[in-house]
Amino acid sequence: QVQLVESGGGLVQPGGSLRLSCAPDGILFSVTNMGWYRQPPGKQRELVAFITHGGITNYTDSVLGRFTVSRDDSKTTVSLEMNSLKPEDTAVYYCFINAASPTWSIIRYWGKGTLVTVSS
C-alpha cells in the first residue's frame, strides 16, 4: 500500500560525499526504527545503519565515522549522509521504516533501492 521512495543515489568519486533520503508516499502510523541496508554487486545484503524512535543510532563497523543516519519525524523521512566514500561502498542502498501495517501490526516497509557507485 504505502511505498517508500529513495533519492540521492548516483556516481561519486572516491573521497566524495553523497546524501540519500527516503520518504513514504503516504501516511505511516506508529513509526519506530528507520534505517538503511545495502547490497554490493554479487554480495549479500548488509545492514548499514539504523536510528531508533528515541534517536539512538547504530552503524556497521565499515561505515562508522564516515556515515551519519538521521530522521525527521515531522516528514517521516530517514537520511544517510555518506562521506569519505570508498569503492567498497558501491551498492544498491535500500531504506526501511518499521511502522504499522493496515492491520496495525508493526511491519517493515522497504524502498525499491537506489544505486550508489563510487568510482574514478
Task: Collect all residues with Cβ–Cβ distance below 8 Å to 1 and sequence separation of at least 6.
Answer: 26, 102
State the average pLDDT over residues 20-42.
97
pLDDT-derived band at 1, boundaries 50, 70, 90: confident
Other C-beta atoms closer than 10 Å to the C-beta of 21 total 18
Assess whether pLDDT exceeds 90 at residue 106: yes
State the average pLDDT over residues 19-31.
97
The pLDDT, as a whole number, for residue 24 is 98
Mind giving me the DSSP string for 72-102?
A: ETTTTEEEEEE-S--GGG-EEEEEEEEEE-T
pLDDT digits (tens, 9 = 90+) for 62-102: 999 999 999 999 999 999 999 999 999 999 999 999 999 99
Please give the mean pLDDT across all residues of the chain.
97
Cα–Cα dist 67/65, whole Å:
6
State the average pLDDT over residues 28-53.
97
% of the chain exceeding 70 in pLDDT: 100
